[in-house]
A and B are shown apart, each in its own frame.
Chain A
Amino acid sequence: MFIKDYISDVYKAAKSLLTGMKTTGYYFTHPKEIVTEQYPDNRDTLKMAERFRGEVIMPHDENNEHACTGCTACELACPNATIKVITKFDISPEGKKKKALDTFVYHLELCTMCGLCVEACPTSAIKMGNNFEHSVFDRSKLLKTLNNEGSKIREGVE
């Protein structure tokens, strides 16, 4: 019985080691598997993953319209006060007052790219962008306004 266990131990050990060597050997002989991105060299062709979280952006359409209602759900969801939503009151033609976005302030230097704001947004006005080249020489440049100059809320978004 002892001898049988001993031999089976040796056999299993050899088998598992060879399995490992097969994997590394496969990678060694298949250079196309290499995943390295030679970043500054391939900057033009660099493709980031769809789900990569580089910064918060607010997409605007061709009419310079966004989908932000100024509800401040993102501001409340943010764990470290990265977002500050400043609202104003638009007067509609009928004379009704309506809450709207004035300035969407985004502190990139505080952001941890957790994406909770994007999840909290009820109108999908903001999303995570792919850009990751954020280095600047002055910290104040990291303070960003996400809504464009003169933009307004898209028709029909409540």
Chain B
Amino acid sequence: MFSLKSITDSIQVWLSANLGATGALIAQCVIVILLAIALFAVLGLVLVLMERKVAARMQVRLGPNRVGPWGSMQTAADTLKLIVKEGLTPDGADKFLFNLAPYIVMIVAMLLLAPIAYANNFQIWDINIGVLYVTAVSSLGVIGILMAGWASNNNYSLLGAMRSGAQIVSYELSAGLAILTIVVLTGSLQISEIVQSQADGWWIFKGHIPAIIAFIIFIIAVTAETNRAPFDLAEAESELTAGFHTEYSGMKFALFFLAEYINIFIVCAIGATLFLGGWMPLHIGNWQAFNHIMDYIPSSVWFFGKVFFLIFLIMWFRWTFPRLRVDQLLNLEWKYLLPISLFNLLLVTMIAILGWHF
């Protein structure tokens, strides 16, 4: 199977030969930072454009089609506009927290890029508690949102932030339990090991119906965690103007917007890693010939293909379902998703102990 390991290894060797151990480490950090920022920028542009195009097609419209071929430069033009605009800080706002909040949201999104395996042997930080790290850090994002809502000195912002808090705290449970079902099946929290365990088939196929239920619960819960429709109570245009980022403008608003899309990418990447095999090509048991053909498709193509499929699924939800009321939102979590996922976890544990999975 094609691997980026040779390239990364040769860079490592070249750097340590020329710069010494410390210099090589610093140079590698710089390279990783540049790559992460580049991924951020590209993802922001691509995902916003994709969202607008998907939305248009589902609403029987054309979508952006004026700037560049098929409107492909539209988001670049929007970004340019946002950079040039003034980042206003309201008079009554808590200036320090107000300006800090977008960076906290951004930093959390950036931290989450670390443990994700983008391709075969291509991972920033293969930590042995990768999944735990992701679930722990992703819940820090709500601090940034609460900070933004509180510091804005605006009723709408505070209401949006509080709703977002309630929502993320409750949906984290079922997202965590859905993740746990796969951890139970793999017996490891390390992302690379989870991917390796799917070399003979993805967990969504190997884990029978409980894995599919866990996958559905995971998708619902992460849609809620990223504050997207139908769970976009935190922004709820019709009620709260824009929720926690009502008072933000210019680049500070753009950071929130970008962080939202990066968070979608990250949760979809986690979903793809856990349930759809990450960068692992579609392998079916012992079909050697079939598996071999699938190996010819590069692992990064597999990874991004799966991630974008999940992102499309989440966009499909957004442009189909109406927004839930706050009581319906909490009902769904505490009366339906949580009991079902607890029962499902029990079932998966039984399957794992008895070795019924493939």
Interface residues of A (CB under 8 A from B): 9-10, 17, 20-21, 23-25, 27-28, 31, 33-36, 38
In the complex the two chains form, is B336's CB within 8 Å of A10's CB? yes
> Which residue in chain B gives the minimum CB-CB distance to A31?
B57
Can you report 19 A-B residue pairs in the complex whose CB atoms are below 8 A from each other? A9-B336, A10-B336, A17-B320, A17-B321, A20-B320, A21-B316, A24-B58, A24-B316, A24-B320, A27-B57, A27-B58, A28-B54, A28-B58, A33-B60, A34-B62, A35-B61, A36-B60, A36-B61, A38-B65
A38 to B316, CA, bound (A): 25
User: Which residues of B71-94 have CB atoms within 8 Å of chain A's CB atoms?
Assistant: none
CA distance A34 to B173 in the complex (A): 41
Are the C-beta atoms of A34 and B61 separated by less than 8 Å? yes
Considering the complex, give the chain B residue whose CB is closest to the CB of A9: B336
Interface, chain B (partner A; CB < 8 A): 54, 57-62, 65, 316-317, 319-321, 336, 340
Would you call B320 and A21 a contact (CB within 8 A)?
yes
Q: Which residues of B contact A27 (CB under 8 A)?
A: 57-60
Question: Which secondary structure characterizes the binding site on chain A?
Answer: helix
Name the contact of B60 in the complex, choosing from A21, A34, A38 (C-beta under 8 A). Answer: A34
**Chain B's nearest CB lies how many Å from the CB of A37?**
10
A33: B residues at CB distance < 8 A: 60
Across-interface contacts of B58 in A (CB, < 8 A): 24, 27-28
A34 to B55, CA, bound (A): 12
Please, which residue of chain A has its CB at the minimum distance from the CB of B313? A21
Provide the bound-state CA to CA distance between A66 and B223, in Å: 65
CA distance A27 to B57 in the complex (A): 7
Cα A38 to Cα B56 with chains together (Å):
14
Contact B319 A24 (CB under 8 A): yes
On chain A, the residues within 8 Å of B321 by CB distance are 17, 20
List residues of chain B with CB within 8 A of the CB of A9.
336
Closest CB pairs A-B (n = 9): A24-B58, A36-B62, A24-B320, A20-B320, A28-B57, A21-B320, A28-B58, A36-B61, A35-B60
Q: With A and B bound together, what is the CA distance between A20 and B229 in angstroms?
A: 14
With both chains docked as a complex, state the minimum distance between the C-beta of B92 and any C-beta of chain A, in angstroms.
Answer: 42
Question: Quick one: closest A residue to B65, CB to CB?
Answer: A38
Tell me the minimal C-beta distance from B134 to chain A in angstroms. 27
On chain A, the residues within 8 Å of B60 by CB distance are 27, 33-36
Name B340's closest neighbour in chain A (CB-CB). Answer: A10
